Structure formats: C-alpha cells, structure tokens
C-alpha cells in the first residue's frame, strides 16, 4: 500500500550555487516560485561559518531517516522551507521519517544587508551547495542572496530547473502538527555553554531501543535509564547527534517539554538559534499525532479567524495582545484563531519567543486537511448523521456514534472527552482524539 502524496512542482530559476569572488564568495540559494520580489535578502553573513553549519544541519535533517526502513528514497530530497521577515530569516525542514523537525533562525545581527521582501518559499539544497557550505571558513567574506533578480524561463539560453516531487501527505501534516505541539511546550532545563557542550558530546551515537531520562543536578545534566522525579523522558536520544557539528560558541542549551512526550531543544548563539523538535519516539512521526485536529473540528468563528488572518504581515513574532486590542477580541478568541491558522500552515511557532510567527507554507494546505484520515472519517460520520446526543447531565453529555456495525459512546465533561473505541483505549488521548470524538465536535460546532 502506498502513502498518499501531493504533487508539487518546484520551479527553480537557477541552481543554488557558490560563486567565488576576489574578496570571498557568494551563496545564491535558488528559490521556488511564489515570492513577491526576486530576493528576500541581499548582503553578507556576519558569522559565515556558523551560518553555514546551521544550514547544513537543516539540510541533513531533510535527508535523515531515524525509522521507517521501508521508506527508502522515494521521497527524494525534501528541500528546506525559508521564510524572510522584515529583518530576519528562518529555515525549516523535516526528517524523511517525520520524527524530527529542525529550524535555523538568523536574527538581524546575523545578516548585514538589505531585506527586499518578505515571504515563504523553498530553497534548493543539492550536493554542490552542501559541499560549498562545508568549505566556508570563519573569516571568509560571504555574500548571501536568497532568490534571483531576473526571470529566466527557457529563452535566450537561460535554464529553468523544474522538479516535480511527490510530497507525502504525512510530511505536510507533520509541519502543521508540530506547531500545535510546540505551542504547548514550556522550558524545563537550561544549560550554560560549557555544560551544554559536554552534554551534547556525551550523547549516544548508536540507536537507543529504550527511553532515556534527562536529569538535572545543579548545572549539569546526566542521562539515566531510570525514571526519577522531575526527569524528562526522551525516546531516540541519538537523534540529538545532529547537534554535534555546531556545539562551538553556543551560549545556551534549552530543553522544552509538553505533556505527550515530544521535546524541543534549542541551541542559542549570539546571532542565531537552532531548534530540533523530537517526537516522543522515532516510531512516532509528527503527522500521526493529531494534536491539530481538535482545532480543525472545534467550534470556532470563521469571521474571527479571517479578522486575525488579515493582521498577518510577516511578523517575526505575533503579538497576540496587540491583535486583541486592535480587533476588539478576547484572548481565547485570538489564541483559537492562531491555532486554526497554524493548522492551515499560515503561522509557525517559535519556542524562543513563546509566540507564533507568520509564514505561509508553499503548498495547498486545504488538501492536507481533507486528506487527514481521522478528520476525513469524522466528517464522513458527521455528514452521514451518525452522531446522536443521547443524554445531557449536569456533569457530562453522552453521545452515540455509529460507525459501520459498531456503536461507540463518547462522554464529554467540562475537563475531558472519552470514547469507548480501541484508539482511545490504546492511546488515552496521547496521539490526539479519535475520529468519533472529532465527529462529536463537528456535531457540537454545528448545533451551537
């Protein structure tokens, strides 16, 4: 059985390349069509070698597989997504197995030049470009250009590189899910420079078959195979080996956690940050987590979502309180609207800022929503009039959901919703709600 895919054509006006110059060189990243200006940014990298190392990690994540041996290389290479803001840039990527999300953020003082436009696109990270990045040295003058200032299709000897890549729906869903997961994360531990380097260099290199726990004692972290109070569980700890090549000159390592077992890791540098978000285990790709599904099936006001969407202007960090005042909305209304926009790929989430940021994934996210198996099944159940409210009590509402020849009971209280199906019995809500609960939410949203 093959997984669903969405055909997306990348139109690169030229190949990403390194251009030598008398004073150093220039990195020119080819971008997919869709920008409002041929360049996001033109200028110099203030710390070229470190920037190159962070970009290489993003590229390495896009080619990595920590699980799913049957995936092989049918995904080809999934090129990183880049977002240009008014004065900063972000590069994002996902591992092929969908269990690792990476993002490299370059702050204003990382880039010395001119920001000519804002937007989101893809960049071509082929082998020659990776080799060029690996050759960059600390004091080398490096010009960075993301985009191209001319249009070349096939006329006049100019070459347009077109590449049709069958993108798995689960990879796109993973982008959507990881925003919802990060929005629930909170900082757990912090390590200063020396201790952070020691910890990263002590990480296991071989595949870990059992969970590990991170324990903080004073300024130190240690890895334990036993659970202790206040310890943080991490599955597939070897995935953090992606950090090894960038430990020099870091300022701090921050560990973020959330209730269902995913962890966020931030390496802070003076002018940049590198994030890795790990799923609870390598076997659990983010696409199957289902944390964004409740937002999609919840009772939300489309007019309010539209109001909030109209305030998006490629902000590096979206100030929810400013939106509340400007649009005369409550905090819950704005937070719900941002969650919905995140489920549509219109905003990402920044752990460092504890805020959403505006970016628009260059894919038709409407297809992703429709192709999510649980949400698609829930819509079918609701449309087929398979949901019925059978009891209303002071402490709970009880619904019956008919699915095929089976009848399931969904019990909804002010604090939780439970179902009698196998999915709920197996995961207890740890991987998002089941299709029956989603169908009930659709039913409630329509009746309210």
pLDDT in tens, 43-89: 888 998 999 899 999 989 988 888 765 555 545 556 788 888 888 99
Domains and CATH numbers, the chain: 5-167 (no CATH), 180-287 (3.10.150), 293-447 (1.10.10.10)
Q: Is the pLDDT of residue 389 over 70?
A: yes
> What's the pLDDT at 154?
30
Backbone angles phi, psi at 119, to 5 degrees: 160, 180
CA of residue 285 relative to chain centroid, distance: 12
CA dihedral 422, 427, 428, 430 (to 10 degrees): -150
Task: Tokens 């169908």: give the residue.
Answer: 439
> What's the pLDDT at 77?
53
CA of residue 143 relative to chain centroid, distance: 28
Predicted confidence (pLDDT) per residue in 202-261, tens digit: 999 888 888 899 998 887 899 998 888 889 999 999 999 999 989 988 999 999 999 888
> What's the pLDDT at 155?
30
> What's the pLDDT at 403?
92
Structure tokens at 296: 């999609």
Structure tokens at 347: 């905003």
Predicted confidence (pLDDT) per residue in 88-120, tens digit: 999 999 888 889 999 999 999 999 888 877 888
Taking a C-beta distance cutoff of 8 angstroms, is the pair 78, 143 a contact?
Answer: no
Please tell me whether residue 180 adopts helix, strand or coil conformation. Answer: helix
How long a stretch of residues is the chain? 448
Adjacent-strand bridge partners of 7: 166
């Amino acid at each position: 059985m093959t997984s669903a895919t969405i055909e997306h054509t990348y139109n690169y006006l030229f190949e990403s390349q390194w251009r030598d110059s008398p004073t150093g060189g220039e990195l020119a990243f080819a971008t997919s069509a869709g920008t409002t200006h041929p360049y996001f940014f033109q200028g110099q990298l203030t710390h070229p070698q470190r920037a190159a190392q962070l970009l290489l990690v993003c590229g390495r994540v896009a080619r990595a597989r920590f699980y799913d041996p049957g995936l092989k290389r049918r995904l080809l290479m999934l090129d990183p997504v880049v977002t240009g803001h008014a004065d900063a840039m972000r590069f994002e990527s996902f591992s092929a197995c969908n269990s690792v999300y990476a993002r490299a953020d370059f702050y204003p003082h990382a880039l010395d030049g001119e920001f000519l436009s804002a937007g989101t696109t893809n960049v071509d990270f082929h082998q020659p470009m990776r080799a060029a990045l690996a050759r960059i040295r600390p004091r080398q003058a490096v010009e960075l250009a993301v985009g191209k200032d001319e249009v070349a299709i096939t006329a006049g000897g100019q070459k347009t590189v077109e590449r049709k890549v069958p993108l798995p729906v689960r990879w796109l869903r993973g982008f959507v899910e990881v925003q919802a997961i990060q929005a629930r994360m909170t900082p757990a531990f912090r390590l200063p420079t020396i201790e952070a380097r020691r910890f990263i260099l002590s990480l296991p290199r071989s595949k870990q078959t059992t969970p590990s726990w991170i324990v903080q004692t004073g300024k130190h972290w240690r890895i334990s195979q036993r659970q202790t109070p206040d310890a943080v569980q991490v599955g597939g700890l070897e995935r953090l080996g992606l950090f090894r090549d960038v430990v020099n000159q870091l300022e701090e390592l921050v560990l973020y956690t959330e209730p269902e077992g995913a962890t966020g890791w931030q390496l802070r540098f003076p002018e940049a940050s590198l994030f890795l978000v790990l799923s609870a285990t390598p076997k659990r790709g983010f696409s199957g987590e289902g944390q964004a599904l409740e937002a999609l099936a919840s009772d939300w006001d489309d007019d309010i979502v539209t109001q909030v969407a109209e305030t998006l202007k490629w902000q590096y960090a979206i100030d929810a309180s400013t939106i509340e005042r400007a649009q005369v909305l409550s905090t819950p209304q704005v937070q719900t609207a941002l969650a919905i926009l995140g489920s549509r790929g219109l905003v990402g989430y920044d752990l460092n800022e504890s805020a959403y940021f505006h970016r628009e994934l260059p894919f038709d996210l409407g297809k992703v929503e429709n192709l999510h198996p649980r949400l698609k099944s829930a819509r079918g159940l609701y449309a087929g009039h398979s949901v019925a409210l059978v009891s209303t009590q002071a402490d709970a509402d009880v619904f019956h959901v008919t699915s095929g020849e089976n009848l399931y009971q969904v019990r909804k209280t002010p604090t939780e919703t439970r179902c009698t199906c196998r999915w709920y019995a197996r995961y207890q809500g740890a991987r998002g709600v089941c299709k029956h609960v989603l169908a009930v939410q659709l039913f409630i949203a329509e009746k309210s």
